[in-house]
Amino acid sequence: MKWRILSKGGDVLETLLINRGIKTKKAREEFLNPPSPKFKLDLSHAYALVRSVIKNKEKIVVYGDYDADGICATAIIWEWLKNLGADVLPYLPTREKDGYGLSIEGIKNIDAKLIITVDNGITAHEAVNFANSKKIDVIILDHHQKPASLSGGPKKLPKAKAIIWTDKLCASGIAYFVAKTSVSTMNYELRATNSWLELAAIATITDLLPLTGINRSIVKYGLESLNQTSRVGLKALFEAAGIEKITPYEIGYMIGPRLNASGRIDSALTALRLLCTHNKEKAREYVQILNQLNKERQEMTEEMTIHAKQKVESRKQKEKIIIIDHESYHQGVIGLVAGKLVDQFYLPAIVIAKGQEVSKASARSIFGFNIIEAIRSCESLLINAGGHPMAAGFSIETNKISNFKFQISNYAQRNISADTLRRSLKIDRILELQEINMNLYQQIVQMAPFGMGNPEPVFASSGIIQNLRTVGAEGKHLKLAIDDFDAIFFNGGHFLPQLKIGQKIKLAYSLALDTFNGNNKLQLKVRDLQL
């Protein structure tokens, strides 16, 4: 792995801030002390329509999505409308029956005056037209990339009554500000609660939004509220998962997967009910269901990933993009499989759940390659497509998969450079090990929460191996004593044969506080090492 060293010296905190593009005094102050979340959206048309529908006692349906962001956004808008006295129901589509986003099939099941989409709808021209033909008004609340024409210019947006769109927030972030802003603009006696901010924080992290600017504020204040949440369902989920403190890690690796599991292989309504319930007994039942579904999801993902990796490794011709399809693949986990293929082979990956007539695909990318632009370059072959530069999905007629593979492989060949395909690790600063102390660690803590757009700081140091051994199942991890520090290298056990006590090595690492047995001791979390 190539190390990209950003700085060799200077004040550590200032260096870390500069490395993240934070250079002015004002930007530094806002980053280290994020203001309470504020964001301006044009909501006047949407509010007027909602007010009219509620006044006329007509029905509203919140049309969500089956991932954590879509579920959390649905919960926020549904609770907000219920508090306003609306006759409102949530509708979460299923992957196999309704497909992704607002669809004609989904609308056929709806009897309402107004549909509010959350986390979908920005490309749903036909579905919105169908709703209009049924005299159903539509408000779109979405953050996905707007549709573009083959020539690269903008396409017309769906003919909805109102569109609330930004790519600066996740859908739940938009939903939070829709609910919060209504307090001062709709003349309702409604108090925005921190419980909506909690859901926006969960979604911001699980949807991999950059934790800078407004999203940093949402996550910072949302985490504070989450650690004192009054939501019965979240409390039950934290207890079952053994979570004592909520950080981005717990959300990304423990909470998010459980919420996502229901929509991946069953109905996302279970997760929605968990978030909105006030019944402790029901909450525990929902958590048990989600835990079981998450276990099934893990087993299914593992089995499919092994199969997909074998298919990739059996190929003689090396392409710049991986495209795998099979009849046995479950469309609920193909995105996870695509992500694991990217991790192993460091190539953009598209995994297709092959159907008899129509197939569903999910894609993940590497930095420097916009996967949704690549997919839309094959627009004439697709039924629909949506997503972000790093993750996307689409539907395609099965008999067109071969043509799609040919076109997108050529696109990747032209647009992915050799340098883009080289794994690299950004090193914030070279440190001498003796510079590491609790004061330095406290400076780094000021920069939390860490995540996309604000990665945990990585340092590089040289040191002498005092002790070493492998730990974990089959010696998967490497534990080292380097000078006066303990170090752990997860999935680094394969380096053991190349190392010996007394050897000088270079480490790339982040700092962690080890509180085992009540001791507060700094530990190096190794990302890579060089001999």
Q: Is 358 helix (H, G, I), strand (E, B) or coil?
A: strand
Q: What is the pTM of this model?
A: 0.88
Give the span between the Cα atoms of 251 and 243, in whole angstroms.
Answer: 10
Identify which has the larger pLDDT, 515 or 220: 220
Both 397 and 458 in one domain: the answer is no
> What does the chain come to in residues?
531
Both 26 and 144 in one domain: the answer is no
- Domain total for the chain? 3
Residue 277 lies in a domain: no
Q: Show Cβ contacts of residue 205 under 8 Å, excluding neighbours closer than 6 positions.
A: 211, 219, 248, 251, 252, 256, 451
Give the span between the Cα atoms of 175 and 162, in whole angstroms.
Answer: 14
Residue 272 lies in a domain: no
pLDDT of residue 149: 54
In one-letter notation, the amino acid at residue 375 is I
**Range name among 245-259, 374-388, 422-436, 512-526 with the lowest pLDDT average:** 512-526
Structural domain that includes position 372: 315-415
Both 10 and 100 in one domain: the answer is no
Both 66 and 165 in one domain: the answer is yes
Among 328, 380, 392, 310, which residue's Cα sits nearest to residue 101?
Answer: 392
pLDDT in tens, 407-429: 999 999 999 999 999 999 999 99
Quick one: average pLDDT of 178-185? 82
pLDDT of residue 150: 45
pLDDT of residue 151: 46
pLDDT in tens, 217-228: 999 999 999 999
Q: H-helix or E-strand containing 325?
A: strand 322-326
pLDDT of residue 99: 67
Both 406 and 367 in one domain: the answer is yes
Give the span between the Cα atoms of 147 and 123, in whole angstroms.
Answer: 6
Contact in structure between 162 and 185 (CB atoms under 8 Å): no
DSSP-derived secondary structure letter, 279: -
**Which DSSP string corresponds to 118-162?**
ES--TT-HHHHHHHHHTT-EEEEEE-SPPPB-TTSSBPPPP--SE
Give the span between the Cα atoms of 107 and 491, in whole angstroms.
Answer: 47
Both 335 and 364 in one domain: the answer is yes
pLDDT in tens, 102-120: 999 899 989 999 999 999 9
Q: Among all chains, which residue has been given the structure tokens 């020539």? A: 151
Quick one: average pLDDT of 397-409? 96
pLDDT in tens, 421-452: 999 999 999 999 999 999 999 999 999 999 88
Q: Among all chains, which residue has been given the structure tokens 């004192």? A: 228
Structure tokens at 210: 């950059």
Identify which has the larger pLDDT, 316 or 291: 291
Both 436 and 505 in one domain: the answer is yes
pLDDT of residue 319: 87
Query: Residue 402 is part of a domain; what is its CATH number?
Result: 3.10.310.30
pLDDT of residue 192: 55
Query: Residue 439 is part of a domain; what is its CATH number?
Result: 2.40.50.460
Quick one: average pLDDT of 121-128? 93
Residue 209 lies in a domain: no
DSSP-derived secondary structure letter, 457: P
Q: Is the confidence at residue 260, as pLDDT, over 70?
A: yes
Q: Is 465 helix (H, G, I), strand (E, B) or coil?
A: strand
Above pLDDT 90, what percent of the chain? 82
